[in-house]
Amino acid sequence: MVQKVTEVVGTSNEGFARAAQNAVETAAKTVRNLRWFRVTELEGRITNQKVSEYHATVKIYFDLDA
C-alpha cells in the first residue's frame, strides 16, 4: 500500500478549520481516496486593517489505486 501527498492552500473567511476543509474539498474534485491531512502553515490576508481571509496550507495524503 502506497500513499501520495499533495500540498494545497485553502482559504476561508471563517477560520483555520474551514480553510483546511476547503483545501480538502477542492482536492476531492480531482483526486480519489483521500485519507488524512497535516497543516504545514497557517496564514491570512489583512484588508482595511482587518483579517479578511484565513489560509491553511495542508499536505493531503491519498491512497494510490492498486
Q: What residues line the site for its own copies (CB under 8 A)?
A: 1-11, 14-18, 20-26, 28, 32, 34-39, 41-46, 49-51, 54, 57, 59-61, 64
Q: Phi and psi (nearest 5°) for 21?
A: -60, -40
Least distance in angstroms from the C-beta of 66 to its own copies? 10
**The amino acid at 21:** Q
Smallest separation, CB 13 to its own copies (Å): 10
| Burial (CB count <10 Å: 0-12, 13-18, 19+), residue 10 | buried
What does DSSP say about strands 34-47 and 50-63: parallel, antiparallel, or unpaired?
A: antiparallel
Q: How far is the CB of 47 from its own copies (least distance, A)?
A: 9
